[in-house]
């Protein structure tokens, strides 16, 4: 049987969830992701927010280019990637072994957020997303 | 006994604001002056200067059937001329927009004739004969019920009223019909209400200060004025809820209402 494309840790590693008070533009998102790149023990970062369509998706002008200024290529860790959302939350999975390491990493994440998020955010530590494949991952495989 | 029209109970700021916008005797404050030509462009139903298209001959031509109701009602200008019915739709953010969609319906119906309005969770459409619509649209873009950051003119894909604001304090719009002009510190429309790019940018002015808009908003919110803190409003909410529930399920339990 084929394996799903997503890679899960298989164990519930702790996650830091950052929820911003305002939706972030591409420039701020790029700065935060590059700031987080410097921190150790981050296994993966998942961002979510409001979707920005490439083209006008309904109404009489359906199909016309949307040209949203916040939907663009950003450079993260030297890699170009297409940002398609106005980001409102970050789910940062940490590969840590004890509470001390967790607190240290969470502190550094908070410092990065303090530096770049102007209008405030909330930081929570817990587990907010799944850590092993489910039936949904096998769709289309 | 003479009857004096009442609008809304309560003594809190949102309750007073609700009474104020509904009362047709109150003239709403004009905060900006967007030229009529720009209002026409924003709606995108016709080009400025173009003739109004009609769907029936002018009423004065006398082709109307003999009807006592038609004799009783004075037609509005657009109906007299046989204009098409067109629309404008406003989206109001939950973050203390000056007015919210449901109160827009109350306000429009209390203040205007010859309109049809529909409420959805975040938006309010208003349909009128075209030449009357243009006057009405200008009035509601210019006056205090419109805030350039917290109110949007959106014909379709209105999603955003319940989203967080963006970094400049503007309501989220997936189609980016308006942008923040950082030099002038004001909001500028770059697309019409159905996202067709405009040939010239249309400024709708500076957004109001959040403290000011919180004070004059009609929205009850726990981080502003909680509806439960206004005893009279809560009492009426309970009364309407009780009457509707009993009316629906146990009408025989009505006592002295």
All structural domains of chain A with their residue ranges:
15-129
Mean pLDDT, residues B103-121 taken together: 94
CB contact under 8 A, A23 and B195: no
Query: What is the structure's pLDDT at B254?
Result: 81
The verdict on a CB contact (< 8 Å) between A25 and B163 is no
User: What sign does the CA torsion over B191, B196, B197, B198 have?
Assistant: negative
pLDDT band at A140 (very low <50, low <70, confident <90, very high): confident
Q: In angstroms, rounded to a whole number, what is the distance separating the alpha carbons of residues B156 and B173?
A: 11
Q: What is the pLDDT, as a whole number, of residue A1?
A: 63
Q: Say if residue B1's pLDDT is above 80.
A: no
Which pLDDT belongs to residue A115?
Answer: 97
Least Cα separation, residue A41 to chain B (angstroms): 30
Q: Which residues of A touch B167 (CB under 8 A)?
A: 22-25, 28, 118-119
B174 vs A contacts (CB less than 8 Å): 50-53, 66, 68
| pLDDT of amino acid B121 | 85
d(CA B164, CA A25): 12
CA distance A125 to chain B (A): 22
Q: Given an 8 Å threshold on Cβ–Cβ distance, is A51 in contact with B167?
A: no
**B30-59 average pLDDT score:** 95
The pLDDT assigned to B199 comes to 95
Q: In what order do the strands lie in the sheet with B178-181?
A: B178-181, B186-191, B197-205
Q: Do the chains contact at B157 and A118, CB–CB below 8 Å?
A: no
Q: Give which of B28, B1, B222 is closest to B111, Cα–Cα.
A: B28
Cα(A101)–Cα(A106) distance, integer angstroms:
9
Which band of pLDDT confidence, cut at 50, 70 and 90, is reported for residue B115? very high
Gap from B217 CA to chain A (nearest CA, Å): 20
Contact B194 A61 (CB under 8 A): yes
What integer pLDDT is reported at residue B38 of this predicted model?
97
B145 vs chain A: nearest CA distance in angstroms?
Answer: 23
Q: Which residue has the higher pLDDT, A8 or A32?
A: A32
Residues B207-211: what's their mean pLDDT?
95
Question: If interface means Cβ-Cβ distance under 8 Å, which residues of chain B face chain A?
Answer: 155-157, 159-160, 163-167, 169, 172, 174-176, 179, 194-197
Please tell me whether residue A139 adopts helix, strand or coil conformation. coil
Measured between CB atoms, which of B157, B163, B172 is closest to A57? B157
Percent of residues, chain A, with pLDDT higher than 70: 99
Of residues A22, A51, A119, nearest to B174 (C-beta): A51
**pTM for the predicted model, two decimal places:** 0.91
**pLDDT at B122 exceeding the cut of 90:** no
B257 has pLDDT over 70: no
- Over residues A41-98, the pLDDT tens digits come to 999 999 999 999 999 999 999 999 999 999 999 999 999 999 999 999 999 999 999 9
- Which residues from A are below 8 Å from B when comparing CB atoms? 20-25, 28, 50-53, 56-61, 64, 66-70, 86, 88, 118-119
| pLDDT of A138 over the 90 cut | no
Q: What is chain A's mean pLDDT, rounded? A: 93
CB atoms A59 and B163 under 8 Å: no
Question: Residue A21: which of B160, B164, B175 has the nearest Cβ?
Answer: B164
Pairing mode of beta strands B151-153, B123-129? unpaired
Q: What percentage of chain B exceeds 90 in pLDDT?
A: 88
**CATH homologous superfamily for the domain B13-222:** Methyl-coenzyme M reductase, gamma subunit (3.90.320.20)
Question: Which has more confidence, A54 or B251?
Answer: A54
Domain definitions of chain B by residue range = 13-222, 226-257
Residues B164-193 have pLDDT tens digits of 999 999 999 999 999 999 999 999 999 999
- Mean pLDDT of all residues in B214-218: 95
Pick the CATH number of A15-129 from 3.30.70, 3.30.2310, 3.40.50, 3.90.1310: 3.30.70
Average per-residue pLDDT in chain B? 94
> Are the Cβ atoms of A50 and B195 closer than 8 angstroms?
no
Instruction: Report the gap between the CA of A91 and the closest CA in chain B (Å).
Output: 18
CA distance B152 to chain A (A): 16
Tens-digit pLDDT profile for residues B143-162: 999 999 999 999 999 999 99
Tell me which residue in B172, B175, B179 faces A66 most closely, judged by beta carbons: B175
- The partner residue sitting opposite B175, judged by closest CB among A22, A56, A88, is A56
């Amino acid at each position: 049987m084929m394996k799903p494309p997503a890679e899960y840790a298989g164990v519930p590693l702790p996650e830091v969830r950052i929820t911003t008070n305002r939706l972030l533009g591409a420039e701020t998102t790029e700065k935060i992701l590059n700031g987080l790149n410097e921190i150790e023990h981050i296994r993966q970062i998942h961002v979510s927010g409001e979707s920005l369509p490439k083209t006008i998706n309904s109404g009489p002008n359906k199909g016309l280019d949307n040209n949203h200024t916040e939907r663009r290529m950003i450079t993260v860790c030297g890699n170009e990637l297409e940002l398609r959302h106005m980001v409102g939350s970050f789910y940062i999975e940490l590969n840590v072994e004890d509470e001390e390491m967790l607190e240290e990493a969470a502190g550094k994440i908070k410092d990065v957020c303090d530096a770049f998020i102007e209008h405030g955010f909330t930081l929570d530590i817990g587990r907010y997303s799944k850590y092993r494949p489910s039936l949904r991952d096998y769709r289309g495989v | 006994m003479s009857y004096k029209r009442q609008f809304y109970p309560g003594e809190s700021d949102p309750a007073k604001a609700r009474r104020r916008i509904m009362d047709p005797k109150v003239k709403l404050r004009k905060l900006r002056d967007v030229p009529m030509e720009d209002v026409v462009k924003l709606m995108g139903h016709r080009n400025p200067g173009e003739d109004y298209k009609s769907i029936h001959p002018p009423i004065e031509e006398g082709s109307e059937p003999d009807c006592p109701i038609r004799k009783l009602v004075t037609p509005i200008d657009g109906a007299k001329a046989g204009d098409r019915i067109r629309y404008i739709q406003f989206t109001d953010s939950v973050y203390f927009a000056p007015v919210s969609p449901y109160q827009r319906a109350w306000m429009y119906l209390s203040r205007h004739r010859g309109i049809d309005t529909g409420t959805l969770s975040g938006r309010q459409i208003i349909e009128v004969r075209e030449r009357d619509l243009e006057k009405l649209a200008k009035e509601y873009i210019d006056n205090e019920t419109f805030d350039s950051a917290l109110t949007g003119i959106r014909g379709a894909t209105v999603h955003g009223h319940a989203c967080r604001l963006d970094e400049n304090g503007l309501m989220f719009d997936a189609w980016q019909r308006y942008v923040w002009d950082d030099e002038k510190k004001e909001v500028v429309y770059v697309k019409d209400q159905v996202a067709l790019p405009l040939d010239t940018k249309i400024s709708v002015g500076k957004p109001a200060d959040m403290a000011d808009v919180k004070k004059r908003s009609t929205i009850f919110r726990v981080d502003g004025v909680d509806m439960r803190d206004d005893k009279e409003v809560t009492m009426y909410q309970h009364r309407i809820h009780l009457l509707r529930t009993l009316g629906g399920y146990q009408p025989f339990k009505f006592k002295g209402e």
